[in-house]
Structure 1
Amino acid sequence: MKKQLLSFFKILVPITIVLIGLQYYFQAKIYTETEFFYSVWSIYAFHVVITIVLYIAILSIHKILPHNTGFVFLGFSGLKMLAAIVFLIPLFQASLENPIPTVFSFFIPYFVYLFLEAFFVIKLLK
């Protein structure tokens, strides 16, 4: 389990650093007039924590019930979607002129991390 977790972190950390840097750049240099509801740190704290907890839970369950790993991933992905909606509720209730840039700044990393999780779960299933 430690080896799998270490290989996951070797990919997770650089991707997170690159994504944070890109998002800071876009928000500071390109979208200077746009009001973002969430800070970059809050978005990535949410994504990194959820991703780490989800992957550790999947590894733990894979150790006990390896034939159910795919179903566990699907279930946790559903819970992750629910957590994302709960995280975004204040944004939906806020009165921003244009909430779309904030939604994109949340969901682009969401799908990158979802792809990363799916890649490692598929690797685990092989």
Structure 2
Amino acid sequence: MKNILRNPFVSILIFSTPIILIHWGIDSFFSIVTYYSFISIYAFHIISAFFVAGIIQWIHANYKDYAGFAFMGTSLFKMLAAILFLLPGFLSDDKPSFTNILNFFVPYFIYLVFEAIQVIKLINPKETN
């Protein structure tokens, strides 16, 4: 079981479940009307987390010293993808509200912190005595 949890893709799915449920509960409780669909927001976050984890794992397996640089590069790419994801809303006549922007960026930063922790664990494994 412990080996399964070390798989970053399984960790992302396990991490995503409570985040999605909490976010859905808050949106339902406050009756927030979303400009971007709830499913599309989390599809973006999960797919981008899989992308980041895959690239980091590949770089770490082949070039251990460059995993941190790969994380910074994929984070930049993820931010550009987030801008492209949000761009249609900003270019439309009915702009998304601040609440809708928060609906996207709060999970974005939660996933970013999760990815950073995963990369730190990968780069600095605990030494066993």
Taking structure 1 as the reference length, the TM-score comes to 0.86
Judged with a 3 Å threshold, the aligned counterparts in structure 2 of structure 1 residues 51 and 73 are, in CA distance, closer, same or farther, namely same
**Distance (Å, rounded) in 2 between the aligned partners of 1:10 and 1:26:** 25
| Count of residues in Structure 1 that have an aligned counterpart in Structure 2 | 122
Judged with a 3 Å threshold, the aligned counterparts in structure 2 of structure 1 residues 9 and 26 are, in CA distance, closer, same or farther, namely same
Deviation at 1:8, TM superposition (A): 2.4
Superposed counterparts of 1:1-126, under 5 Å:
3=3, 6-30=6-30, 32=31, 34-96=32-94, 99-126=97-124
**Distance (Å, rounded) in 2 between the aligned partners of 1:5 and 1:13:** 10
**Distance (Å, rounded) in 2 between the aligned partners of 1:96 and 1:6:** 44
Taking structure 2 as the reference length, the TM-score comes to 0.84
Identical-pair percentage: 34
The equivalent of 2:127 in structure 1 is none
**Distance (Å, rounded) in 2 between the aligned partners of 1:20 and 1:88:** 19
Could you tell me which amino acid in structure 1 is paired with residue 42 of structure 2?
A: Y
Moved over 6 A (4+): none
Could you tell me which amino acid in structure 1 is paired with residue 15 of structure 2?
A: I
Q: Please, what is the CA RMSD of the aligned residues?
A: 1.9
Q: Contact 1:23–1:40 (CA<8 Å) still a contact in 2?
A: no
Structure 2 unaligned blocks of 5 or more = 125-129
Higher deviation after alignment, 88-97 or 51-60: 88-97
Deviation at 1:124, TM superposition (A): 0.9
Deviation at 1:4, TM superposition (A): 7.8
Could you tell me which amino acid in structure 2 is paired with residue 28 of structure 1?
A: S
Deviation at 1:118, TM superposition (A): 0.5
Deviation readout 1:76-124 (Å, 9 max, x if unpaired):
1000000000000012123346611111010111011111110011111
Could you tell me which amino acid in structure 2 is paired with residue 83 of structure 1?
A: A
Q: Contact 1:36–1:102 (CA<8 Å) still a contact in 2?
A: yes
